Amino acid sequence: MALVAAAFAVWTGLGNAGESCAGLDTALRNNLNFIAAQRAAPDAQSEARIANRQAVVDLIQQRRGTAGCTANVVADPVAPAPAQPAEPAPATTAPAAKPPTGDQPENGEVVCNGSTVTFFNEAAAPGASSGTFPVGTRLRVTNLDNNRSTTVEVTGPSGSCVLLNNAAYEQVREPGKNLIRRAVIERVG
């Protein structure tokens, strides 16, 4: 019976933690590609973005180790990049971002244009994680479907522009929905 369970885990790509190595490998490659693109065409925020993404990479590597993932995952070769590489995002009707006027984005600047927003399970005061902004950054997230908003501080890294924790998500969500497809995310500090 143990042989059957081990064969099933190998066949499905699951390690001992029940996580998909293929999914973890994809997440790792995506984050490594983002870091490589930032290094290839750096801007004033690249260092902070790379630091945040490196923290995400470290967490993914820990999860890969626990799951028994062994593939050698590396970034894809970097093609010539535009002046400011950005994460791909789904199309939305959110307002266009204002261009920054200096090295730092203005307070109230719309950021992560087109990003959807979801949540992560954390029992804490309203907060967020981000793969784009450093810890301590304050963001205002508005759900355009119900016009509710919340202002949160980034408390840790993630693989998304912004993930709200449970308390923050409850402030802006629509009942029964676990994804905000039409959101405006603004940097407010």
- Predicted confidence at residue 101, as pLDDT, reads 36
The whole-number pLDDT of residue 77 equals 84
DSSP assignments along 13-43, one per residue: TB-TTS-BHHHHHHHHHHHHHHHHHHHHS--
CA separation for the pair 127, 189 (Å, rounded):
14
Q: Domain locations in the chain?
A: 2-67, 109-187
Task: Kindly report, residue by residue over 77-110, the tens digit of the pLDDT.
Answer: 876 544 444 444 444 333 333 333 333 345 567 7
**Tens-place pLDDT, residues 119-150:** 776 778 888 888 888 889 999 999 888 999 99
Tokens of 157: 């890294």
47-61, 114-128, 143-157 — which is least confidently predicted?
114-128
Distances (CA, A) of 99 to 110, 146, 171: 9, 27, 29
Fold (CATH) for 109-187: Barwin-like endoglucanases (2.40.40)
pTM across the whole model: 0.44
CA distances from 159 to 34, 147, 188 (A): 10, 26, 21
Residue 21 phi, psi dihedral angles, 5° rounding: -65, -40
**pLDDT at res. 98:** 38
SS (H, E, C) 57-110: HHHHHHHHHHHCCCCCCCCCCCCCCCCCCCCCCCCCCCCCCCCCCCCCCCCCEE
Spatial separation of the C-alpha atoms in residues 180 and 183, rounded to whole Å: 6
- Range of lowest pLDDT (47-56, 79-88, 127-136, 169-178): 79-88
